[in-house]
Amino acid sequence: MSENILRTVSLDRISRRKDRSVSINFITDMEQTSEQLMELDKQLDQRGVLYFKPKGILTTAEVDELDNIDIELNGKTQSQRIRSVLFVLWQQIDTNIDFPDFYKQKTELIIQQIKDKLK
Domain segments of the chain: what residues? 9-67, 78-117
Distance CA(50)–CA(66), nearest Å, equals 9
Nearest alpha carbon to residue 49 among 62, 37, 39, 38? 62
* pLDDT at 72 > cutoff 70: no
Tell me: the pLDDT tens digits for 94-117?
A: 778 999 999 999 999 999 999 999
The predicted pLDDT at position 20 comes to 85
Single pTM value for the model: 0.49
Place 78 in a pLDDT band, splitting at 50, 70 and 90: confident
Q: Residue 28 half-sphere exposure, CB side, CA atoms within 13 Å?
A: 10
Q: Residue 13 half-sphere exposure, CB side, CA atoms within 13 Å?
A: 4
Tell me: the pLDDT tens digits for 1-53?
A: 457 788 888 999 999 998 888 999 999 888 999 998 998 898 888 877 788 88
The predicted pLDDT at position 1 comes to 45
The predicted pLDDT at position 71 comes to 61
